[in-house]
Amino acid sequence: MPSAIISPSVLASDFGQLTAECKRMLRGGAQWLHMGKHFVPNITLGAPILASVSKGVPGIFMDCHMMVSHPEKWVNDVADAGGSLYCFHIEATSDPVPLIQSIHERNMKAGVAISPDTPSTAISDEVGEHADMLLVMTVYPGRGGQKFIERCVPKVAELRARFPDKDIEVDGGVGPKTIDACAQAGSNVIVAGTAIFGADKPEEVIATLKSAVDTAQAKIFAKH
């Protein structure tokens, strides 16, 4: 049974205190830190910032969501900066399996993401088997603070049915009010930005998200 993994999105953090913010999240119970890069020429969080965080927080697992065109161009930069998982969009490449292999060659896990208007079936069985993680976006890529798109949730369930042992991540508008839908559909990796960084007690939010995933996962796998 895939374990619950909470990956706070650093785009919601105080950039002036980024290393301290990452340490604060890890102390609060987070296992990963989610770092998104957008579909624009100038990457929001570039390799130098990743490298700085990697040096400042030894052992940190950097969940790098590459919302970029030509994702193959950035694999080496992210690997050199200390990236732990490189997640690209299926919409951004016509040849995903070789890209996954190149990510693995750089000793990173490989993730495959889909945007809200992309069906889960765009991730073929072959691609899903090669990948380490599958990501369902529950907002449109590009900015934080958007409202959770509930119609994306069935895609999580479809992927969980096909890939029962894979990490399946949701990203966008996720927090205590929307976690149950995501967890019950089968997501075990939870990205949350404002819901965690904006909380008075982020450790309590992290615990709430973990508990929801653990409870849902136990019910899902008890049926099999």
DSSP 108-138: -EEEEEE-TTS-GGGS-HHHHHH-SEEEEES
Asked if residue 83 belongs to a known ligand binding site, the reply is: no
44 labelled ligand-binding? no
The response to whether 121 counts as a known ligand-binding position is: no
- The annotation status of 145 as a binding-site residue, yes or no, is yes
Is residue 194 annotated as involved in ligand binding?
Answer: yes
Report the DSSP beta bridge partners of residue 6: 190
| Catalytic-residue membership of 171 | yes
Q: How far apart are CA 193 and CA 178, in angstroms?
A: 13
Hey, what are 73's tokens? Answer: 């161009």
Nearest-CA neighbor of 171 among 41, 69, 37? 37
Nearest Cα to 86, choosing from 135, 29, 22? 135
**Which of 77, 171, 180, 214 is an active site residue?**
171
Residue 9 annotated as binding site: yes
Is 34 within any annotated ligand binding site?
A: yes
Catalytic residues: 171
Q: Which residues are annotated as a binding site for a divalent metal cation?
A: 34, 65, 171
Q: Which residues are annotated as a binding site?
A: 9, 34, 65, 142-145, 171, 173, 193-194
Q: Which residues are annotated as a binding site for substrate?
A: 9, 65, 142-145, 173, 193-194
